[in-house]
Amino acid sequence: MIYTDTRDANAKVDFKTAVMNGMNSATGGLYVPVEFPKIEISKIMKDGKVDFVTAAFEMAKPYVEGEIPDADLLDLIKDAYPFEPKLVKIDGSTYVLELSHGPTCAFKDFGARFMARAMSFFNKDENGKLHILVATSGDTGSAVGSAFHNVEGLDVTILYPEGKISPLQEKQLSTFTGNVRALKVKGTFDDCQKLVKTAFTDKDLREKFRLSSANSINISRLLPQSFYYMFAALQAKYENSGKEIIVTVPSGNFGNLTSGLIAREMGAPITGFVAATNSNRTIPDWIATGDYKARPSVETYANAMDVGAPSN
């Protein structure tokens, strides 16, 4: 699979480059696949049931073809996911997709654990360590820290806004040792994210360190999050034949919603999405007016969604 740059259609890279670089430092653009292949549903759904590991393997396979052998990819996925999402029926045709069964109880465990193993696979052929930078508004940092902890050849630095994440999240972030460190930033999540993006576009810094990102600007975070959308949509559709599937997604940086759109492009039977936001209205206002204006984030009780300048 070839990947291109959201700001330069002439830029073409492979999966390894997209994953290991995180973004195009020259343009500030994000790497995305040139196409989203349709998946044969019969391969992942048997007798009305979806096997999550099989779905993940079949969805990931075309994106890594020629770079990660099938046997290694399957091992990677099995190692990443000793847990599964759970689709729970609430009432009638309303469901909740539980994504809190990973080690940090955050949906970002799904993306972070796949990404850590993909980076480790590619880094074994490189000289020196890969330095991972990540900004967090709460759950990303915990998931990334857990996923990368003690992974050989990878060092992780997590930036988080002081006083703006929950006590539990801060305890999760601050108790890692070894190759994972967390740094408080006097500011907002947007300030943390800006620092990460600035580091990536700093030519001198990139010459000194091999840098990559663990935020949803990295395609290896977005792709694995699409796995559970396919899983849930197929299961819900089977149980509700003839009904349209509408997915409501709490949205801050809009990476999770982007993953849902990828799943739909690949054949997930999703009719539409509701992107639920809080008081941080950058994207809703852009959709309503056509004028994109990044702005300082507004602090709310839903701190993981407090993003004034979304990346995705």
- Active-site residue set: 108
Torsion, Cα of 33, 143, 156, 201 (10° steps): 40
Contact 44, 58 (CB under 8 A): yes
Contact 67, 76 (CB under 8 A): no
**DSSP letters of 185-238?**
ESS-HHHHHHHHHHHHT-HHHHHHS-EEE-STTSHHHHHHHHHHHHHHHHHHHH
**Helices 219-239 and 255-265, axial angle in degrees (round to 10):** 60
Closest Cα partner for 309 from 295, 290, 292, 289? 295
State how far the Cα of 172 lies from the Cα of 48, in Å rounded to an integer.
38
Q: Retrieve residue 286's tokens.
A: 């852009």
How does DSSP classify residue 305? G
* Residue matched to tokens 């990878």: 154
Strand order in the sheet with 211-213: 180-185, 154-161, 130-135, 211-213
State how far the Cα of 236 lies from the Cα of 273, in Å rounded to an integer.
15
**Helices 219-239 and 108-123, axial angle in degrees (round to 10):** 130
